[in-house]
Structure 1
Amino acid sequence: MIDPFTLALILIVALTLMGASVGLAMIAGSFVYLIFKGFDPSIASETLLQGLFNNYTLLAIPLFILAADIMNIGSLADRLLRFAQALVGRFRGGLGHVNVVSSLIFSGMSGSAVADAVGMGKIIINLMTRDGKYSKSYAAAITAATATVGPIIPPSIPMVLYAIVSDQSVGFLFAAGMLPGLLMALMMGVMNYIMARRHDFPVDEVVPMRDLPGITWKALPALMLPVILLGGIYGGIMTPTEAAAVAAFYALLVSALFYRSVSFKDFYQALLGSARSTASVGVLVAGAITFNYVITRENLPVSISEFLGQYELSRFWFLIVINLLFLALGMVLEGGAILLIIVPILIPSVRAMGIDLVHFGVIVVVNAMIGLITPPYGLLLFITANITQQPVGRIIRDVWPFIIALLVALMVITFVPDFVLFLPRLLGYQG
């Protein structure tokens, strides 16, 4: 007779291939496991409810999603883009640099790669492809690549998910992502410069320096959002969940009252959109909580730790194996599934190797973000392909240089833990 755990895995894979969401597939697989093991299936419901209602941090996710949706319907993105263009648009391949800088700024507000690609991405792609300055495939590729910075620079929805499964501080995880996010942006800026020289991309319209104060002033209310957000968290005024609520309220306040760019209809559509996105994430979290009970019953984390212990891997080779594993998983799984399913299995092994869990969290999230632009799954590739109406294969061809740049950044992040943990330690982290 087939093992119940194996049967559950087969069912999850089969349902996923048939088009079901990963979350629903995991719930179905968990119920099948419990039934074939002779357990009361209501255990799954009890585990699910306890996991959802006992975790206050989960509330941050829908609030950050709502804040991003409100920013996308207002004129914040336009003003931030103009500010970025004034800063770096004067260099060769300037609009590519604008793409990097605008994503870096927007990432300090949304916490979502998809929100960055859909919101700011649409505007910058249209700007880059106007008059044929850049090919549509290159504009799509660099937009997909720069959107990966979104969940690394705080706030970050994937960091919140990692905090839930690893029992680490959201605030320290946010701090740990700041320097790696800047490094990723720098690497993509360097790669854009190399590509601009190779393909002779134009020098774009130069904004006079005398106009910079006025442009900065107009963008200042939007630029203040990450300052308020992070200042509140690290100043001890707000928890990350409360900061998410403040971010959503501030985005609405600035868009509706200061910029006067949001109608009631727009706000209603933002609420609907954020509700759909939250439901999608909620189902994934629910499925992961349920399936993690199955994983615990099977004692899988300990078994994996013992299996890896047989090979007596050094920390260096363990991290190499972990990166290769997550990069491979990123090609076929979405980041949320990796964080909620795979990470809990590996945490005992990570602890046994003496690897700091905050540092490990940044490694995992960066890998998951690279997965968003890696074929064949590459969600951001499909989003930008839809925006530009370009074949995904053509965008993949242009995105490879940026994947290489991000892999170089990943190696620094992986093997220089002091670089990642510098800011958290300044803020009192003892790891």
Structure 2
Amino acid sequence: MVLEASLTLILTFAVLLFLSIPIGICIAVASTATMLLMMPMDRALFITAQKMVSSLDTFALLAVPFFILSGEIMNNGGIATRLVNFAKLFSGKIPGSLTHTNIVGNMMFGAVSGSAIAASTSIGGVMVPMSEKEGYQRTFAAAANIASAPTGMLIPPTTAFIIYALVSGGTSIAALFMGGAVAGILWGLGCMVVAYIVAKRQNYAMAQPLSRQQAWQVCREALPSLLLIFIVVGGIVFGVFTAIEASAVAVLYTAFLSLVVYRSIRLIQLPAIMMSTVRMTGIIMFLLAASSAMSFAMAFSGLPGAISDIILGISDSQIMVLLIINIFLLIIGTFMDIGPAILIFTPILLPIATQLGVDPVHFGVVMIFNLSIGTITPPVGSGLFVGASVAQVRVESLIRPLLPFYLAIILVLLVVTYFPRLTLFLPQLFGV
């Protein structure tokens, strides 16, 4: 029965995905087909629907629409230029300074917006043309922008860790946020090392340093946006409020910032921002419901246990198993979005990792790191195609300049995977 159910689930899902049917529907239909194989139709349909509905009856899910709304407000709030100017303060005297500015800007904007696509579009839209004017190759500037955009999926606040926390059975969101921040910063630093080496070889110019008065003005304009990270993460870590309350605080703060401080959004724009938030929330919630049904179908058929036996049958070494999981997740990330991948594969892979003594927080960071790489890799990496579109270059022309960035990111992934103290140091320090 395990073999028949597994084949039904996998083949149904693969065929529907190949036919370009939305992934949420693929998951729901494949789950229902698998349940129909194992029990009568009335029970199968009832249990599938029950699992889909009950999975959304979770108070912690309130954080998702609030964080999405705060990100939408920030995306429309015109803060990209302010963060670019702020990033110049840290990279102005380094060879390839404009590229470093792009990378640091992506790290900051991705964190406050919670979106790699938003970072790539907003920061890259400013920095790529500017870099080309200063003599940088356009493809290199675009590659640096694309490679560093996913850092915002690791640096909090980010909904990916909230989803993982729910699916994993209550892993600390505060601990995931802090571990993810370390991994995201290491990712950005890895990209900066590549940018430095290329800039030295190509003799790219450095940006003109800002005067003290200009630097103060830049800090004054950018710091209110950056405070969002410290308010949200600091509030959760120090017990001022829960993750759900933090998401509501984030909405209030970003609304005040955009409407009153920067005056970059008008009240008339809020309905459109709300509608965009509703659409995105609806997609995520449906994916969560469908994935819960799939998780139950897999558990009922015994598929996770069979996969666990296969992996552990290859090796019971933590090093080898983590390597296998990394390779598997890197492949999954190349054709599946991060949300569905977290929902589907966490219930399968997390028990294997914990059985070998891997901390759930560390595994969550490693998992999301892997899947974030998939957003900038062919064949369906959304970040890759959006970044190429923003830079107005062909995707094929970006592969070669992206290769050293890919290598650096993979090396950082291995460091994060096999040195768990890096991601667990801050959570343990703050006792979360």
Q: CA deviation at 1:221?
A: 1.3
The answer as to 2:415 corresponding to 1:418 is no
Letter in 1 for 2:61: L
- Quick one: structure 1 residues 133 and 242, their matched pair in 2 at CA, closer, same or farther if it must change by over 3 Å? farther
Letter in 2 for 1:67: S
Question: C-alpha separation between the residues in 2 aligned to 1:48 and 1:19?
Answer: 22
Is the Cα contact below 8 Å between 2:55 and 2:288 reproduced in 1?
no
**Structure 2 residue runs without a partner (length 5+):** none
Alignment-derived partner of residue 18 in structure 1: 19
Is the Cα contact below 8 Å between 2:138 and 2:391 reproduced in 1?
yes
2:56 aligns with one of 49, 52, 65? 52
Identity percentage of aligned residues: 32
Question: C-alpha separation between the residues in 2 aligned to 1:193 and 1:148?
Answer: 19
Letter in 2 for 1:161: I
The answer as to 2:181 corresponding to 1:214 is no
The runs of 4+ residues in structure 1 deviating greater than 6 Å are: none
Alignment-derived partner of residue 104 in structure 1: 107
Alignment-derived partner of residue 82 in structure 1: 85
Question: C-alpha separation between the residues in 1 aligned to 2:414 and 2:199?
Answer: 25
| 1:227 counterpart SS class | helix
- Which stretch of the first structure deviates more once superposed, 226-235 or 30-39? 30-39
- 1:38-187 matches, cutoff 5 A: 38-39=39-40, 40=43, 41-53=45-57, 55-129=58-132, 131=133, 133-167=135-169, 168-187=171-190
Letter in 2 for 1:307: I
Question: C-alpha separation between the residues in 2 aligned to 1:136 and 1:276?
Answer: 34
- Which stretch of the first structure deviates more once superposed, 415-424 or 311-320? 311-320
Deviations 1:378-417 (A, max 9, x none): 2100111222231111122221111111111111101111
Letter in 1 for 2:172: S
Is the Cα contact below 8 Å between 2:119 and 2:149 reproduced in 1?
yes
Q: CA deviation at 1:4?
A: 4.3
Is the Cα contact below 8 Å between 2:51 and 2:293 reproduced in 1?
yes
Question: C-alpha separation between the residues in 1 aligned to 2:72 and 2:128?
Answer: 19
Question: Over the residues paired in the alignment, what is the CA RMSD in angstroms?
Answer: 1.9
Is the Cα contact below 8 Å between 2:121 and 2:386 reproduced in 1?
yes
**Number of residue pairs aligned between Structure 1 and Structure 2:** 427
Deviations 1:152-200 (A, max 9, x none): 1111221112111112111111111122222111111111111111222
Q: CA deviation at 1:354?
A: 1.0
Letter in 2 for 1:391: R
- Which stretch of the first structure deviates more once superposed, 415-424 or 171-180? 171-180
**Structure 1 residue runs without a partner (length 5+):** none
Question: C-alpha separation between the residues in 2 aligned to 1:411 and 1:345?
Answer: 21
Q: CA deviation at 1:35?
A: 2.5
- Quick one: structure 1 residues 283 and 198, their matched pair in 2 at CA, closer, same or farther if it must change by over 3 Å? farther
Alignment-derived partner of residue 301 in structure 2: 298
TM-score normalised to structure 1 length: 0.94
